[in-house]
Amino acid sequence: MNEECKPELLNELTRRIDSAGGITFAEFMEQALYHPDYGYYTAPRTRIGKQGDFFTSSSVHSCFGQLIARQLTQMWHLLGAGAFTIAEQGAGEGHLALDILDAIAEEAPDFYAALDYRIVEISADNRARQAEALGEHLVAGRVAWCELPELKRMTGCFLTNELVDSFPVHLIEKQGGELKEVFVVNSAEGFVEELRDLSTEEIRDYLNRAGVTILEGNRCEVNLAAGPWMRQVAEVLERGFVLTVDYGYLADELYAPYRHAGTFLCYHRHQTNEEPYRRVGCQDMTAHVDFTRLQMVGEERGLKALYFGQQYQFLMALGFLELLIEMQSRETDPQKAQAIRMNLKTLVLPEGGMGESFKVLVQGKNVGQPELLCQKKIRDLRMC
């Protein structure tokens, strides 16, 4: 049976599936996450942090935003230190925006004065939470909300943290030598899966272009929505950078033969599960990001990949260690100092942390081939 969480959403999905005779998993996921009234991201709920369902890097420690602010400040200088837009799509509780704006206001007041921080956010509930978090910067006239097309001709940096992993994915399986797609249908037991022919040839085309072969019996995800999204971002950006942080891999690793069940997961109260038909609308659903797809589509639209690395390398290059030492030395309470260490370790540790599975992609448009701060090699870092 479908576990009741939002009966209205279950009824609507059941009706939709009945009238279509089955819907793709991607459509099911889109409704579960973004139904205008009952979706996981749209209905009022604490999603991120201790009281929510999952942590993001920006909810772990303000140091994440402070270090990204250093990279953004260098980008501002590289573009001539004039008017500069930071556009953040999918800003959650507004933690990252707050930490970036606080850091820039304190460390680079000239940049702060030239800055227009725009948030593109699908969820009205999140927009309200962001406005609450960003009060001071709102009053200072530095922040506004807009739709993506309104950013047309922007100069600056388009930023996301854990946005692309929350786009709906198509679930694909190789059976009898053929690529098949998971459809969701109604049954007496609730929602169940049925394997059918691909809903669109785009799926096969993309896997072919990425040069990956799915092993017989394996399941994987294809995030088709990431393509049009990347195209739209490339289109609105006239000059500047796109900085994407998320968990994921390049295609050869994402679709590797040993990854039998793909990467799809649900998050509820800090526990993971692989049961998307339970708690529909009350748990997060996500899949690892295919960074090859972002790079491929970006290249076609004038976005040149300037940097791709693991989050720990990115943060270390921007001064993670110095910041850790500085924060520790300022903290006189040993317990609080220990808490700082633990939180910061989460950002860079490979196992059980976010250091390795999280990747950072920086693309540039009309910026040449600048040497970015984040490209500094760990061996060249000054250890204080």
Ligand X SMILES: C[S@@+](CC[C@H](N)C(=O)[O-])C[C@H]1O[C@@H](n2cnc3c(N)ncnc32)[C@H](O)[C@@H]1O
Q: Which of 70, 95, 170, 219 binds ligand X (CB under 6 A)?
A: 95
Question: In whole angstroms, how close is the CB of 366 to ligand X at the nearest point?
Answer: 25
Interacting span for ligand X (CB under 6 A) from 55-63, 260-268, 303-311, 341-349: 55-63
Total binding residues toward ligand X, as defined by CB under 6 A = 20
**What is the residue whose two structure tokens read 């004038």?**
302
Give first-to-last CA distance, the chain, whole Å. Answer: 59
d(CA 34, CA 284): 11
CB nearer ligand X, residue 123 or residue 155:
123
What is the arrangement of strands in the sheet containing 284-286, beginning at the earlier edge strand?
A: 271-273, 265-268, 284-286
Interacting span for ligand X (CB under 6 A) from 121-129, 212-220, 308-316, 356-364: 121-129
Shortest CA distance to 299 belongs to which of 227, 247, 358?
227
CB nearer ligand X, residue 207 or residue 312:
312
Question: In whole angstroms, how close is the CB of 177 to ligand X at the nearest point?
Answer: 35
Q: Which of 25, 28, 38, 41 binds ligand X (CB under 6 A)?
A: 41
Question: In whole angstroms, how close is the CB of 180 to ligand X at the nearest point?
Answer: 27
Question: In whole angstroms, how close is the CB of 48 to ligand X at the nearest point?
Answer: 5
3-state SS of 250-315?
CHHHHCCCCCCCCCCEEEECCEEECCCCCCCCCCEEECCEEHHHHHHHHHHCCCEEEEEEEHHHHH
- Under the criterion CB under 6 A, does residue 223 sit at the interface with ligand X? no
CB nearer ligand X, residue 79 or residue 100:
100
- For residue 284, the number of C-alpha atoms closer than 13 Å in the C-beta half-sphere is 24
Question: In whole angstroms, how close is the CB of 126 to ligand X at the nearest point?
Answer: 4
| Residue 139-168 contact track with ligand X, rule CB under 6 A, x = bound | ----------------------xxx--x--
**What is the residue whose two structure tokens read 């110095």?**
322
Interacting span for ligand X (CB under 6 A) from 122-130, 204-212, 261-269, 367-375: 122-130
- Under the criterion CB under 6 A, does residue 91 sit at the interface with ligand X? yes
| Residue 163-192 contact track with ligand X, rule CB under 6 A, x = bound | x--x--------------------------
d(CA 314, CA 312): 5
Tell me the chain's radius of gyration from C-alpha atoms. 21
- Under the criterion CB under 6 A, does residue 30 sit at the interface with ligand X? no
CB nearer ligand X, residue 119 or residue 207:
119
CB nearer ligand X, residue 25 or residue 79:
25
The one-letter code for the residue type at 361 is: L
CB nearer ligand X, residue 95 or residue 279:
95
The helix/strand/coil state of 66 is helix
d(CA 277, CA 9): 12
- Under the criterion CB under 6 A, does residue 62 sit at the interface with ligand X? no
Which ranges in the chain belong to alpha helices (H)? 7-20, 25-34, 57-60, 63-78, 95-107, 109-114, 124-133, 135-139, 202-209, 226-236, 251-254, 291-300, 311-317, 320-330, 334-348
Question: In whole angstroms, how close is the CB of 54 to ligand X at the nearest point?
Answer: 7
The helix/strand/coil state of 93 is coil
Enumerate binding residues for ligand X (CB under 6 A): 41, 48, 56, 58-59, 89-92, 95-96, 120-123, 126, 161-163, 166
